[in-house]
Amino acid sequence: MILFPAIDVLGGQCVRLTRGDRGQATVYNPDPVDQARHFLRQGARALHIVDLDAAFDGRSENAPVVERIVREAKKHNVFVQLGGGLRSKEAVERWLEVGVDRVVVATLALENLPLALTLCETWRERIAIALDLREGKVATRGWLVHHNFSGDNLAERDLDARNLAERDLDAHTWLAPFIEVDRRIGAVVVTDITRDGMLSGANEALTLSFARTLPCPVIASGGIASIEDLVALARTGVVEGAICGRALYEGKFSLEEALLAVAAFEETRTPDS
């Protein structure tokens, strides 16, 4: 299982939010590049970067900072995953051409399906879809807009892009176009917003509901509080990765400790375990 230490950039600083609330931002490092170097020194094999200003406002001045993080990561051959405000073809392709290995789209996937599908067909594994859930509702635009999707049903979604008028659309059905053979997206990132930044434990059941049924990698996000949470996700054998944020910044465990614990568990696994 791949561990993704998170670097969330707001106003040029490295922060963590509570349940995605911009008004509850804690600054952990005024220099996100320095934070990236810290994770790289601890052995990070992947980074998860989010441009929060772009996610909230659709535009941002954080690009120079993000570019510097990407350059640092590439010096160490570290995989970079980037999300936040990627709502146009130009934005997605710019970052892929800069050197980001995979971009994560959410608002674009929900609000401009034709473009999202075209990008998936072009870039395939370099595109990930974010499934951000708050009490059963899918959230976009920096988690400020909550689409009227309840539970496992995506209610009253306008699907003119597919010339359909469907109601009670299942979440897996909504994801289906993105995981067809000719697209092969890189991952679905499943986030329980109510747990994000709360150190309340990962929502393993939610993640597994997708990881056990989707034919593409699933990454867990939100609430991870301990190394035990990470090992529990690794134990499932079907969760591809986990994004760690506040627990690392609050010193609940170090990235080095987490990497060692997950590696130790995976070394002891048998094919049938």
Q: Which residues are catalytic?
A: 8, 132
At 256 the three-state DSSP class reads helix
50: which strand partners? 8, 83
- Two tokens at 241? 């990765």
SS (H, E, C) 221-265: ECCCCCHHHHHHHHHCCCCCEEEECHHHHCCCCCHHHHHHHHHHH
* H or E segment to which residue 121 belongs: helix 113-123
In total, the chain counts a number of residues equal to 273
∠ CA(138), CA(143), CA(91), 5° rounding? 100
Phi then psi for residue 226, to 5 deg, are -155, 165
Q: Cβ contacts of residue 21 below 8 Å, gap of 6+?
A: none
